[in-house]
Amino acid sequence: MTFLRASLIGALTILVLEIALAFLLNVVGESQHWGNAQLGIGPLPIYTLSRIGGNFAVKTGPGIIVVAVAVGILNGLGARWLSRSTPLT
């Protein structure tokens, strides 16, 4: 149960942070007049930054789910390791 709970908490936390980062990228990209770019892991885009006309847009891709699941699993493994190696006093 520790693994599952820690995995879900880790994944949801990362999803919230990734969405906040998308807003931050949108504000900075608009003010700095960034062009088109794609941030991702291999072929999976996490963020797609694009300028259409005079407007700047940040789109999230399927990579945010992959990152959230990976971090959630790592968080669950860390919680499981800590619960087994730390004596309860």
Question: d(Cα 50, Cα 3) in Å, to the nearest integer?
Answer: 38
Question: Which pTM was predicted?
Answer: 0.83
Question: Residue 63: is it exposed, middle or buried by C-beta count within 10 angstroms (0-12/13-18/19+)?
Answer: buried
Q: What is the pLDDT of residue 1?
A: 72
Q: What is the pLDDT of residue 88?
A: 57
Q: What is the pLDDT of residue 2?
A: 83
Question: d(Cα 80, Cα 10) in Å, to the nearest integer?
Answer: 13
Positions of the chain with pLDDT under 70: 86-89
Q: What is the pLDDT of residue 82?
A: 87
